[in-house]
Amino acid sequence: MKTALVGIGKIAVDQHVPAIADSAEWELAATVSRHGSVDGVEAFTDMGKMLQARPDIRVVSLCLPPVPRFAYAMQALEAGRHVMLEKPPGATLAECHALDAAARAAGLTLYATWHSRHADMVGAAKSWLSDKMLRALRVTWKEDVRRWHPGQAWIWEPGGLGVFDPGINALSIVTEILPAQIHVTGATLEVPSNCQTPIAAEIAFHHPDGADVSAVFDWRQQGDQTWEIEAVTDSGTLTLRDGGAVMEVDGTVSGQAAPLGGEYPRLYAQMAQLVTTGGIDMDLRPLTLVTDALALGRRVATDPFED
């Protein structure tokens, strides 16, 4: 299937382009971007002109920041194209629900991707936890924003999510592996004095069986990066590390440290299946937890951020 990639930034170049190139199911037929392009691929700077010029392109994959994404996604759906959304699927839950309704009305596929759910050991962790009684779960997601998001000013503006941009990856794993549903009960958000979104957050969650569930996100981590989820159960302790690439259960380690390894090829394989079967996958639980944390969070001013 031919796809157009919209928004040629770091994540598109690092992950989407190689995943499409290595897939037997996909052909990158066009790009839409004001500044970026891919060698050998027809490039457009206007979404409408691409849709008009390339009716042969069935799928549009959106890698734009969250705030402008809704308009582009709706434009693609109205043109009869299937749509794949980079995480988070939108800036608000309301616009995500609107896209879902539009896709269903048109009989089109819409896929809210959560790449971290496709890390190597997430499925194994879900299986291991399926019959365990959870007593505590602790998420520690700490990375260096300057290393992973250099010069991306949009993340500090309203709708940019701040530290929840990576933190939502952790929440996408948690909502996938836990048998029970959780919800936010409180949060503390550290917001730089010159920004609109948090650089760090601590969150508490309600678990229906009384387990102690919490998360710490921080974008100021230097040196080793930490992407870890620890689940303490009645039958032992499971730890997912390196964003879900490595799993340890009571000293037994499975997997290899390879953050993002294999995740995006699996997203495109899933999208191909959804298009073939006419499916829609719009799981909004991770975004719901983030928006609830932003709604309930107590904001604490911290030092200005300088990129």
Q: Which helix (H) or strand (E) holds 187?
A: strand 183-192
Number of H helices, E strands in the chain: 10, 15
Catalytic residue among 87, 126, 132, 142: 87
Q: Across the strands, what pairs with 201?
A: 189, 217
From the list 88, 46, 82, 96, the residue with the least C-alpha distance to 66 is 88
Peptide bond into 304 cis (omega under 30): no
User: Strand, helix or coil at 211?
Assistant: coil
Q: Is 87 a residue of the active site?
A: yes
Amino acid at 197: T
User: CB-hemisphere CA count at 13 Å for 152?
Assistant: 19
Tell me whether residue 261 is exposed, middle or buried, using C-beta atoms within 10 angstroms of its C-beta: 0 to 12, 13 to 18, 19 or more.
Answer: middle
49, two tokens: 């002109």
198, two tokens: 């948090």
Point out the residues that are catalytic.
87
